[in-house]
Structure 1
Amino acid sequence: MQRRQFIHHAAGLGLGAAALGTGSLVRAAQAPLKIGFIYSGPVADVGWTYQHDLGRKMVEAEFGPKVKTVFVENVPEGPDAERVIRQLADDGCTMIFTTSFGFMDPTIRVAADYPDVAFEHCSGYKTAANVGIYQTRFYEGAYLVGMLAGKRTKSNTLGYVAPFPIPEVIRNLNAFVLGARAVNPKASARVVWINSWYDPPKERDAALALMNQGADVMYQNTDSPAIVQLAQSKGLWAIGQDSDMARFGPNAQLSANTLNWGVYYVHKVRQRLAGQWKPEDTKWGMKEGIVKLAALGPSVPKEVLPQFEDRRGAIVAGKFHPFAGPIAEQGGKPRIASGQVLPEADLWQMKWYVDGIVGKQP
């Protein structure tokens, strides 16, 4: 278990609020709103946790001395997470963001004991009177980078390094394959599951195994730049994930599917400061600016650009949905008819593969 440290920022004084939107506004004179963040990975220079921490810094920049933020990194998604979340509440945090799926049940348990604390949980589905949830339509970006991969591949075999077989990961994988096959019907994807969000050696080994099976474009739902680095060394191509990884593979990276969590964090902290916070089920995407693609790399085929940009504009405008039919599940069985869109409830509980994915689902 890695050593964890609290890191404190923005310790200035100001006027803060510490009441739920459904209750009375309680003001602490000259005391900032103390906000805690709990991270599953390291605050390094790239990846999922890095992007969340950029969001925390956006909160500091937006509200200055009205807030004080703290965070804990490298928290395992297990029983110990409850202790860390509880410690944040005991230390005076009256708003807490828990930023990974595995923190869901610990968040719910702790929230029951701290009714005056506003909790926000990322990627989960359980709410409470003082627990809101938020996740992104990350699949929108996954579909678009799939288009780049489908046009770039020479072998028609794409590789996907995946962490855990939960709906959000399967959703991104499916969208990636749908995007690839929209421009190249011959494209297929092979998947390796590593049961970790962040493990550079495992990520590299999985990508190497996929390359040995013929994959020449790599995508991932994991956090480190190891796969982009490997693609660069092999003269192949890759898609960055969570944050822009171009500096690790300037020739390899076609683009990156990134997240700007700050737009959401600023929104919810503003509610809290105004005494208007309430638990919500929020799902934002490219339209709201939380899902963003990195600049296209030099290896992106120019012939795909008109269709790519047209589809990107349609997604932002709400005129195209990546899971619009016709879509078949693995093996060719029709799943979504032409003119239909996968129902919202099914989208967030996705547990099936689309056609074009090779191998059995875990």
Structure 2
Amino acid sequence: MCRVVVAVGEGPDSERVMRQLAQDGCGLILATSFGYLEPALKVAADFPAVKFAHAGGYKSAPNLATYNGRFYEGRWLAGWLAGKSSAKGVAGYVAGFPVPEVVQGINAFTLGMRAANPQAQVRVVWLNTWFDPAKEREAALTLVNQGADVLTNHSGSPAVPQVAEEKGVGLIAYTSDMARFAPKAQLAAVTHHWGPYYTQLARQVLTGSWSGQPVWAGMKDGLVQLSALNPALPAAVKAGLAQQQQALVAGQLQPFAGRLVDNTGRERQTAGAVMPDAAIAQMDWLVQGVVGSVPGR
């Protein structure tokens, strides 16, 4: 039996839905939004025979595993493309909540963009929500008015792609291909591909081989991709993207390697160093080249 429940609000509503799924006999429940973590932990404690997997979580339980993607790898590549595509050297980033995953994406995008154009800037507007089409649109318009000629986002509606198409600026879509909303504007999309991982989890539950180990997979695993490339991209840019992607997959290019300076001028990492996963997972500062700040910092 496979059941899919969509448009579930974070908080009490998600707890109700997960509890019902467990009561209905589901052996594996996938909690696919950051805000589902606490409700999932509550339900997991009441149904120890049911396995849970939570996307982006930082807490676990014997029957609740966490999984995430190294989305920042795709973001670095997207930033490189933005740097090659932006005439003004200014990108706009519509950001949801100031959690590490979002900060990682902003920083990786900026580092990639500045690898292509060392003078590039990335301007950030925070939403403090994952999904609010009106706020997303307002933020995107603000960024275009501030000079951004490429937009990207970490939010849930097609509002940012629609603004990019309307205003004639470039777009790097996120999560899925948004070409139907921005057929001319979209340069590429950072896309997530969970199917093989979900299949692996289901097989583990069915065969009794569930390990509950956390997973943090990336481009080499096929979970994160830069896809839906605009066919109008110059051949040299496509070739450069392919080279950069090959280096990322091979581990020869690591987005958070080398000397890193934040946007206040403070050195955060020395030359020759590679940032460990623990530091990436707690990232709460913005690199040089970002115009903006992390709320609450």
TM-score range, shorter chain: over 0.9
TM-score scaled by structure 1?
0.79
Q: Aligned equivalents of 1:173 and 1:301: distance in 2?
A: 25
Report the equivalent of 1:340.
273
Report the equivalent of 1:118.
51
1:279 counterpart letter in structure 2? G
Report the equivalent of 1:129.
62
Q: Aligned equivalents of 1:314 and 1:265: distance in 2?
A: 27
Q: Aligned equivalents of 1:347 and 1:307: distance in 2?
A: 26
Report the equivalent of 2:172.
239
1:232 CA displacement: 1.4
Contact kept in structure 2, 1:244 and 1:256, CA below 8 Å: yes
In angstroms, what is the RMSD of aligned CA positions?
1.3
Q: Aligned equivalents of 2:274 and 2:35: distance in 1?
A: 29
2:41 is the counterpart of 1:108: yes
Report the equivalent of 1:159.
92
Contact kept in structure 2, 1:255 and 1:296, CA below 8 Å: yes
Q: Could you list the runs of 5+ residues in structure 2 that have no partner in the other structure?
A: none
2:287 is the counterpart of 1:361: no
Contact kept in structure 2, 1:252 and 1:299, CA below 8 Å: no
Question: What per-residue deviation string (whole Å, max 9, x for no partner) do you get for residues 176-210 of structure 1?
Answer: 00100001011111111112222222211110011
Query: How do residues 1-362 of structure 1 correspond to structure 2 at under 5 angstroms?
Result: 68-362=1-295
Larger Rg: 1
Report the equivalent of 1:18.
none
Identity level (%): 51
Q: Aligned equivalents of 1:88 and 1:204: distance in 2?
A: 35
Greater Cα offset, 124-133 or 79-88: 79-88
Question: What per-residue deviation string (whole Å, max 9, x for no partner) do you get for residues 22-42 of structure 1?
Answer: xxxxxxxxxxxxxxxxxxxxx
TM-score scaled by structure 2?
0.96
2:81 counterpart letter in structure 1? L
1:147 CA displacement: 0.4
Question: What per-residue deviation string (whole Å, max 9, x for no partner) do you get for residues 47-67 of structure 1?
Answer: xxxxxxxxxxxxxxxxxxxxx
1:278 CA displacement: 1.9
Q: Aligned equivalents of 2:215 and 2:235: distance in 1?
A: 36
2:165 counterpart letter in structure 1? Q
2:132 counterpart letter in structure 1? D
Contact kept in structure 2, 1:130 and 1:278, CA below 8 Å: no
Question: What per-residue deviation string (whole Å, max 9, x for no partner) do you get for residues 200-249 of structure 1?
Answer: 22211110011011111001011222211221121110111101112221
1:299 and 1:218, CA in 2 relative to 1: closer, same or farther beyond 3 A? farther
Q: Aligned equivalents of 1:140 and 1:308: distance in 2?
A: 13
Question: What per-residue deviation string (whole Å, max 9, x for no partner) do you get for residues 144-188 of structure 1?
Answer: 010011111122211000111101011111100010000101111
Give the secondary-structure state (helix, strand or coil) at the position aligned to 1:325: coil
1:298 and 1:332, CA in 2 relative to 1: closer, same or farther beyond 3 A? farther
2:58 counterpart letter in structure 1? Y
2:120 counterpart letter in structure 1? A
Q: Aligned equivalents of 1:321 and 1:360: distance in 2?
A: 24
Q: Aligned equivalents of 2:8 and 2:82: distance in 1?
A: 33
Q: Aligned equivalents of 2:255 and 2:56: distance in 1?
A: 19
Contact kept in structure 1, 2:110 and 2:121, CA below 8 Å: yes
Q: Aligned equivalents of 2:261 and 2:240: distance in 1?
A: 22
Q: Aligned equivalents of 2:282 and 2:12: distance in 1?
A: 24
Q: Aligned equivalents of 1:204 and 1:302: distance in 2?
A: 32
Greater Cα offset, 107-116 or 300-309: 300-309
Report the equivalent of 1:43.
none
Contact kept in structure 2, 1:118 and 1:131, CA below 8 Å: yes
Runs in 1 of length 4+ with deviation above 6 angstroms? none
1:299 and 1:161, CA in 2 relative to 1: closer, same or farther beyond 3 A? farther
